[in-house]
Amino acid sequence: MEKKVVKNFTLTYELDILNKKIKLNGNPEVDLKDFLAKLKASDDIIAQMLYKNIVDNAITEMRIMAWSGIDIKGWLKEVGVEE
């Protein structure tokens, strides 16, 4: 007999775009560039998915708040994201 278990797993993060900081699941705030570098270097599928999610959401938020004058390409370079 085979039994499968299906569960949902959620991560919550607070992204401070202007200060380039991130807080994950209520843990202390960390530098976004360092955090993204660790995720990008990982072979883990969850780390890769989280990396993509953070970058995609940051780009979307910066487009939404375009009035603030943020240079999206410059911001991505500052946090270590290559195009």
Tens digit of each residue's pLDDT (9 = 90 or more) over 49-81:
999 999 999 999 988 887 677 888 899 999 999
What is the separation, in whole angstroms, between the first and last Cα of the chain?
48
Q: Does the pLDDT of residue 19 top 70, yes or no?
A: yes
Instruction: Give percent of the chain above pLDDT 90.
Output: 73
Task: Specify the pTM.
Answer: 0.84
Has residue 58 been placed in a domain?
A: yes
Measured CA to CA, the distance from residue 52 to residue 39 in angstroms comes to 9
Has residue 51 been placed in a domain?
A: yes
The range of the structural domain enclosing residue 82 comes to: 31-83
Has residue 19 been placed in a domain?
A: no
The tally of domains found in the chain comes to 1
